[in-house]
Amino acid sequence: MANSRSGETVTERIVRVLETFDTDRTVQTASEIGRRARLPSSTAHRIVADLVECGLLERDEEQRVRLGMRLWELALRGSHALRLRQAALPFMERVQARVREHTQLAVLENGETLFVERLSHPHAGANITRIAGRLPLHASSSGLVLLAHGPEELRERVLAGPLEAVSPETATDAALLRRVLAGIRRDGVVVAPGTVEAVSTGVAVPVREGRGRVIAALSVVLPRDTPTGPVAEVLRSAAAGISAALGTHRP
């Protein structure tokens, strides 16, 4: 935009503004947004006003600001994530009914695991993942599945790069991870105890689209001591169901 000292486009700044919102920060003042997005106060106020004008943001009763329903609508209306989700949801429900724990669907997004859907049983245990939340690829069962079937170039970059531990038990050794990934490709399932949280075990399988390309990972989070054998089978058949639904749902 004109005269930005920093040489940014308006678009970038809008994204930075939207980025200041997250699960535990759903309403903010315009000044807060400015600070968090590193924008001069007057600029932040103007951009926020613009976004409110367009409906992407909304003002609540106390002139604080939150994400607008219009943004939600625009993001979902034409989204293919929605198609995947709609295809997957019935099968996820079935999994959840059988396993009675957290059931989640994740995709690969910009080198990270992005969780697209999550069903939580009322009595299920801990789970840090959230819808629209992210985790590193090497640090969750879903991520490992996506990494195992992702482009080799990405796999090498992740294995080379810094592998940070999310929990004390997260595997951060490249050689070990390589064996795990090979195991996933061989077995079609991964069991990852304690990689995200010490008290829980993730079990994940790949979800394929028509031509066999892996487009998502379906996973459940179990208490650490639960036997995983039956769960894997439930997940596998659900993933097959999702693939079929994706194939037939639209010509």
Q: DSSP letters along 191-242, please?
A: EEETSS-TTEEEEEEEEE-TTS-EEEEEEEEEETTS--HHHHHHHHHHHHHH
Q: Quick one: what does residue 42 bind among DNA, its own copies, none, with the CB cut-off 5 to 8 Å set by partner type?
A: DNA
The CA distance from 193 to 224, in Å, is 7
The verdict on 45 binding DNA (CB under 7 A) reads yes
Window 18-77: residues binding its own copies (CB under 8 A): 18-19, 21-23, 25-26, 47, 50-51, 53-56, 66-67, 69-77
Nearer to DNA, 36 or 236 (CB): 36
- Residues contacting its own copies: total by CB under 8 A: 53
User: 95-120: b or e for each residue (b if 16 or more CB lie within 10 Å)?
Assistant: bbebbebbbbbbbbeeebbbbbbbbe
The verdict on 110 binding DNA (CB under 7 A) reads no
Among 30, 37, 51, 180, binds DNA (CB under 7 A): 30
The CA distance from 32 to 48, in Å, is 11
Smallest distance, its own copies to C-beta of residue 19, A: 7
The verdict on 26 binding DNA (CB under 7 A) reads no
The verdict on 91 binding its own copies (CB under 8 A) reads no
The verdict on 60 binding DNA (CB under 7 A) reads no
Q: How far is it between the farthest Cα atoms of the chain?
A: 61
245, 87 Cβ separation under 8 angstroms: yes
Smallest distance, its own copies to C-beta of residue 35, A: 16
27, 65 Cβ separation under 8 angstroms: yes
Q: Which stretch binds its own copies (CB under 8 A): 105-113, 138-146, 188-196, 206-214?
A: 105-113
For 36, 97, 106, 210, 234, the CA distances from 94, given in Å and listed in that order, are: 41, 5, 17, 22, 9
Residue ranges that bind its own copies, judged by CB under 8 A: 1-2, 9-12, 14-15, 18-19, 21-23, 25-26, 47, 50-51, 53-56, 66-67, 69-83, 86, 89-90, 93, 107, 109-110, 114, 119, 122, 131-134
